[in-house]
Structure 1
Amino acid sequence: MLSILALSDIHERTQRFKALAKLVEEAGGVELAIVAGDITYFKPASIAIKILEKLHEAVGSPILFIPGNCDDPRLTGSLDTSNNILNIHGKPVEVKGYIFYGIGGGGVSPFNTLIEYSEDDFNDLIRRASGIDPGRLIMITHQPVNGFFDKVDNMHIGSKVFREFMTARQPLLWITGHIHEHSGWIRSGGTVIVHPGPFMHGYYALITISGGSVAGVSIKRI
């Protein structure tokens, strides 16, 4: 069994970490924390790393993270972090037999935020995950999958490349973020899609994987 805490869109709201830690402990603790981008709001990479270190101190579990569109572009590369805080943007990482693969940043937008990718860029990044056994694959993306937790002003802004990959490969689990107006989870084919909701407003998710399937998802709010 693998127990996961999933967060997205922290945007520097570290004052909630203490309350989060208490709630996670009351729920039995977690073995892994996932941060699906937007750790900061246009701050340097060093600030993002400090926030992740604070999160690790609070919840006590290793952290896998990707940057969001509002994070420093240097977070798409290799930066010095502790062994308990791993950047998985464009990199597969194995935990207890499951393969986590991350793609940070958002889609191209009128706002010209710090990390934005075209659909061609997303295609290049996600192709690196095409050889991973989908039954063991857990995708972490900041940009949502088209049609799932991605509606803004009556428009679906999620990645169509992600939707095509999900439909074809059906990974076990897909954790996303970015769109502050949404929070929830849904099953599509063989994939469970989880959008914890913005942690800046107190949202988070607890996920349990057991026997090669997603056994439970709880969306919570502090």
Structure 2
Amino acid sequence: MLIYAVADIHGNPGHLEAIKKTVQREKPHVLIAAGDLSSHMGKGAQDVMQTLSSLGLPVFVIKGNTDGKSIQELAAKTPGVEDLHLKTAMLEGATFVGAGGTVPIPFRSKLALFEKDVVRRLDNLLTPGCVLVVHPPPYGVTDKVLGKFNAGSKSVASLIKKREPAVCICGHIHENAGTAMAGKTLVVNCAMSRSSAGALIQLAKGQAPECQMLAP
């Protein structure tokens, strides 16, 4: 299965155009949007949802720190788009599990305001070999701010160590988009920026996942 993963669209028309072109060219089986779909206070959410719905493939989304509650409400009303927050979804033999949200405080990202409850519920959903979709990266992996400070989530890091998903799709730290291993888990920071248009992830049963980062 070919997964197209993006994060931090921020309602940017250029990012939306890049997504459309990549879908047309690569023909992925599913698009994952790992938070910050809209700009601050949810601006542009409607345009983002309309674009994602028009792609003609399943789309899983989660909420990021710049997204308002309208993102989840819009996802529920938008054909082809599913909010993955604290849910499990099956597609092409793969299991996807997500959790939305992060608190935008420097250098110590949390998963959500009510982090302990979210982590407990997410822990119960995760299984080895699944695809975990969160907004902040795990602490210490693709999470460097200014090339110096780790700004990821320690809770996400702990969950990965305990449950060993095949892939963790995340974003949030724009300047550290890329891939790295966290134990047995491939971490893909697919934040969109001037230097990144997301990532293509090849997932096949019994094989290690492979990832290609995309240039704009």
Instruction: Trace 1:181-192 onto structure 2 (pairs within 5 A).
Output: 181-192=175-186
1:67 aligns to what? 63
Cα distance in structure 2, aligned partners of 1:43 and 1:16: 18
Instruction: Trace 1:125-144 onto structure 2 (pairs within 5 A).
Output: 125-132=118-125, 134-144=127-137
RMSD: 2.6
Instruction: Trace 1:156-175 onto structure 2 (pairs within 5 A).
Output: 156-175=150-169
C-alpha change, 1:196 and 1:137, in structure 2 (3 Å) is same
C-alpha change, 1:70 and 1:25, in structure 2 (3 Å) is same
**Is residue 96 from structure 1 mapped to residue 111 from structure 2 by the alignment?**
no
Cα distance in structure 1, aligned partners of 2:30 and 2:87: 17
1:13 aligns to what? 12
- Report how far residue 69 of structure 1 moved: 0.4
Cα distance in structure 2, aligned partners of 1:107 and 1:213: 35
- TM-score, length-scaled by structure 2: 0.85
Is the 1:103–1:125 Cα contact (8 Å) retained in structure 2?
Answer: yes
Q: Which runs of 5+ in 1 are unaligned?
A: 111-115
Counterpart AA for 1:137:
C
Cα distance in structure 1, aligned partners of 2:47 and 2:22: 22
Q: Which has the higher strand share?
A: 1
Per-residue CA shift, 1:135-189, capped at 9, x if unaligned? 3421111111100111124221211111111111111110000011111112222
Counterpart AA for 1:39:
L
C-alpha change, 1:11 and 1:118, in structure 2 (3 Å) is closer
Is the 1:174–1:192 Cα contact (8 Å) retained in structure 2?
Answer: yes
Cα distance in structure 2, aligned partners of 1:108 and 1:69: 6
Equivalent pairs: percent with the same residue?
26
SS state at 1:53 partner: helix
C-alpha change, 1:26 and 1:32, in structure 2 (3 Å) is same
SS state at 1:181 partner: helix
Instruction: Trace 1:4-83 onto structure 2 (pairs within 5 A).
Output: 4-27=3-26, 29-44=27-42, 47-57=44-54, 59-75=55-71, 80-83=76-79
C-alpha change, 1:20 and 1:88, in structure 2 (3 Å) is closer
Counterpart AA for 2:185:
T
C-alpha change, 1:79 and 1:56, in structure 2 (3 Å) is closer
SS state at 2:155 partner: helix
Per-residue CA shift, 1:34-92, capped at 9, x if unaligned? 001111112447x42431221332x4211100111011134356853234101111222
**Count of matched residue positions in the alignment of Structure 1 and Structure 2:** 213
Cα distance in structure 2, aligned partners of 1:11 and 1:48: 9
Q: Which runs of 5+ in 2 are unaligned?
A: none
1:87 aligns to what? 83
Counterpart AA for 2:201:
I
C-alpha change, 1:82 and 1:56, in structure 2 (3 Å) is closer
- TM-score, length-scaled by structure 1: 0.83
SS state at 2:114 partner: helix
